[in-house]
Amino acid sequence: MTHILILYDGRTPQINALAHALEEGIARVAGSKALLRPVEAASREDLLAAHAIILGSPNWTGITATLKEWLDQQGDLWEQGALAGKVGAAFTSGRGRHSGLEFTLLSLIHWMLACGMIVVGLPWSEKMRLSGSYYGATAAGPLTEEDLDQARVLGKRVATVASALRELRKDT
């Protein structure tokens, strides 16, 4: 079973809905299972046990202080290489399309890269004209079906890549 942790600051309804849509996408890949964890309920063991990690935060001119502090408390994991080689992805929501969504995604991705993770984004699609960023799943303003679909696609993509990496590692 490929375990994928969806770790997020769930203080907005949009982030919660995106997290559940990611879970739906992950469920579309046989042998994959999502673990949804709001940051208040997450543990270091959740990070270590996961084959892939998807981080989410509302856009507050970057990630929320709650999630930033939690991630900072895991600081020695990058020195140990404990997350190196795991698949990572990000999601966010904000009030408007030009409110810093990509900055928030890049802040989350920065943490993953520092840990040596393999970051997965979204390939371009026509739906991105209305919603989204290839850096990760987003919602700008009121949540739309396109936003949820983008999250499902990202969840499926992460599960597919994480499962493929697990298979490759079995052969080596």
Within 8 A by CB and 6+ apart from 4, the residues are 26, 32, 33, 34, 35, 50, 51, 52, 53, 54, 87, 155, 158, 159, 162
**Full-model pTM:** 0.95
- What does the alpha-carbon distance between residue 92 and residue 139 come to, in Å, rounded to a whole number? 7
- Asked whether the beta carbons of 150 and 127 are under 8 A apart, the reply is yes
- Asked whether the beta carbons of 64 and 29 are under 8 A apart, the reply is no
pLDDT of residue 131: 64
Q: What is the mean pLDDT of residues 147-157?
A: 95
Q: What is the CA radius of gyration of the chain?
A: 15
Domain boundaries, given as residue ranges, for the chain: 2-171
The first and second tokens of residue 146, run together, are 């396109």
Q: What is the mean pLDDT of residues 16-36?
A: 98
**For 73-131, what is each residue's pLDDT tens digit?**
997 888 899 999 999 999 999 986 667 888 999 999 999 999 999 999 998 887 776 66
CA angle 127, 130, 134 (to 5 degrees): 60
The first and second tokens of residue 167, run together, are 């298979």
Least Cα distance to 29 among 159, 166, 161, 162 occurs for 159
Q: What is the mean pLDDT of residues 153-161?
A: 97
CATH topology of domain 2-171: Rossmann fold (3.40.50)
Q: Taking 80 as the threshold, does the pLDDT of residue 6 lie above it?
A: yes
